[in-house]
Structure 1
Amino acid sequence: MTVELGDCRVDWLGYATVRIEGPDGTVVYLDPGRYGVLDDYEAGDAQLVCVSHVHHYDTDGIERVASDDVTVLVHEAVHHSETDRDVTPVRDLPYETRRVDDELDDLLGEVIVRTTAAYNHPDGPHTYEDGTPIHPEGTGCGFHLQLGDTRIFWTGDTDVLDGMAELPVDLLLAPIGGTYTMDREAAADLAEAMDPELVLPIHYDTFAAIETDAEAFAADLEGRGVPVALDE
C-alpha cells in the first residue's frame, strides 16, 4: 500500500512495517519485520530505523532494510531476553544504535524525531488474564516524525492516551486491529480529534487476533470528513 502526501512517499509493507521516503531521499523504516512481511525484501536503503518495543524487534527485518550508514533507534526497554524469538541483542547490532525513551525530541539527519508514550491502560480491555497490561507503561513508544513539511505519527502498540489528540499530524498511522492496541472505533475517534490530512490504518489482519473491518473504519471516518487510505 503506497500513499503520497506532501513531499513524502509512504509504503505500508504489512503488520507494523512502514517505509517513509522524504523529499531529500532520506528513507525511514518503522518497526521493520515480523510475520513474513519482509520475506524476499532486501532494500538496504534505510538511513533511520525506529523500533517501538520488543514485540516489533526483528533483527532480520532490520538487516534487510539497513544501509551502511543507518542509525537504529530502539526503545530502552527492548531486551532479547523478553522474547522467545532468535534475535540479536541490541548491544550487538552492527549499526549505529541509540536507545530512546518516550521523551526524545531531536534532529537526526534531515528528520525531526519525537517519541511519545505507548501503552495499554491497566484498567482497560487489553490485558492478560492476571490483569497485567499487554503493553505496560514504559515498555514502548510511538514515533512522531517530520520529513520536510510532512508530519507523520505512528502511535506504536497502544491505547489512545491523553495528549495524543493535540499532536500536529498530517499522516496518522493508526493501529486498528484491537486485542493488543486500540480498536477501529477508538482509532476513528482519535483520528477525528487529530484531524490529519490522511489516515493510513496499519497493524490489522496479519493474523486472527487482529482481524477487523477496515472498510467499516474507513467509512466511519469518511463520514466524519477524515480521508482514509486503504490497502486494496
Structure 2
Amino acid sequence: MKRFCFTAVSLLVVPVTILVAGPAGNGECIRTPKGDITIHIINHATFALGWSNLTIYVDPVGPQARFAHLAKPDLVLITDIHADHLSVDTIREIITDKTLFVVPPAVAEQLAQPLCQRSTVMTNGQAATVLGIKIEAVPMYNTTRQRLQYHPKGRGNGYVLTLADTRIYISGDTEDIPEMRALKDIDIAFVCMNLPYTMTVEQAASAVREFKPRIVYPYHCRGSDLEKFKALVGTDLGIDVRLRDWYNK
C-alpha cells in the first residue's frame, strides 16, 4: 500500500522559561509567562498536555473511558511500536477527523493510509513545527547488552516540545543515553524507569542530574522505587521531582 506522509527536516534552538505550579481542575497546571500548560496523568506511558486551546495526547493506549474527561486531541505523539505506546484501536476511538500525528517511521508503517496522511513522520535528529508547536525527535534506545533487543537505536523517538518558551522532554523507552545527558534547557521532563525494558532508577537519576530539568516526572515506572529515584536526584540542584500515581486509575 502506498502511503503519503510528511517528513520533517528542520532543526531548532529555543530559550527557556520559569515555571510555577498551580491548580488546574482535573489536571496539573504549570504556569508560564506565555500561558498555562496542563498535565493530565493517565496511565503508564500515556498522558495529555493542554496548552493554548490545544490538547496533545502522548502514546494513547487503553479503553476510551480513560480519556472521557479530556478534550479530543488536536495532536497525538507516538514514540514506538510496542503495545504500551501504540494502539490503533484506541486511536480510532479517541480522535477526530482533524487530529494530527507525529510518529517515527516504524509507527507510520502500522497506520492506515487515512491516518498516515495526517502524520508528520520524524526520525531521530529531525524537527518540525506542527500546530505552532516546535517538535524535535530525539533518540531513545537500550545500551545494556541484556536489553538491546527491546529498543534498537533509531526505531523510536523521544520528543522535545517547545510550547512558547517552555521545553518539554518526553523520553520514550530508553536508557541513560548520551543524547539524554546532553539535553539543554529542559523545563519539564518525563523520564522512564523500569526493568527489564528501560533503565534502573539509578541510571535515570544520574542522567537527570546531568541534564538538570527544572521539573521531572518519573513515568513508565511500574515496579520502580520512585522514592529512591527522588532521593538520588537530591535537592542540591534545585530539580523538582514530582511523583505521581500512574497505575491506580
How do 1:39-188 residues align onto structure 2 when only pairs under 5 Å count?
Answer: 39-42=65-68, 43-55=70-82, 56-78=85-107, 89-93=111-115, 96-121=118-143, 123-127=144-148, 133-167=149-183, 168-188=185-205
The one of 208, 227, 248 equivalent to 1:215 is 227
Structure 1 runs of 4+ aligned residues shifted over 4 Å read none
Q: Which amino acid aligns with 1:192?
A: R
Look up the match of 2:11: none
Structure 2 vs 1, CA of residues 197 and 77 (structure 1 numbering), >3 Å: closer, same or farther? same
Q: How big is each residue's C-alpha offset from its partner over 1:147-185, in whole Å with a ceiling of 9 and x where there is no partner?
A: 122111011111122232232210010001131112211
TM-score (normalised: structure 1): 0.81
Look up the match of 1:208: none
Look up the match of 2:15: none
Q: Which amino acid aligns with 1:135?
A: H
Q: Aligned pairs, how many?
A: 211
Q: Which stretch of the first structure deviates more once superposed, 90-99 or 166-175?
A: 90-99
Look up the match of 2:4: none
Structure 2 vs 1, CA of residues 90 and 57 (structure 1 numbering), >3 Å: closer, same or farther? farther
How far does residue 124 in structure 1 lie from its aligned partner after superposition?
Answer: 3.1
Let me know the Cα RMSD of the aligned residues.
2.3
Gaps of at least 5 residues in structure 2 are: 1-25
> 2 CA distance for matches of 1:44 and 1:58?
19
Contact 1:160 1:187 (8 Å CA) reproduced: yes
Q: Which stretch of the first structure deviates more once superposed, 65-74 or 110-119?
A: 65-74
Contact 1:126 1:134 (8 Å CA) reproduced: yes
Structure 1 vs Structure 2: percent identity of aligned residues?
A: 25
> 1 CA distance for matches of 2:93 and 2:241?
29
How far does residue 64 in structure 1 lie from its aligned partner after superposition?
Answer: 4.0
The one of 29, 34, 59 equivalent to 1:31 is 59
The one of 182, 185, 194 equivalent to 2:211 is 194
Q: Which has the higher contact order (CA 8 A, sep 6+)?
A: 2
Contact 1:53 1:77 (8 Å CA) reproduced: yes
Gaps of at least 5 residues in structure 1 are: 81-87, 128-132, 206-210
How far does residue 109 in structure 1 lie from its aligned partner after superposition?
Answer: 1.3
> 1 CA distance for matches of 2:186 and 2:157?
17
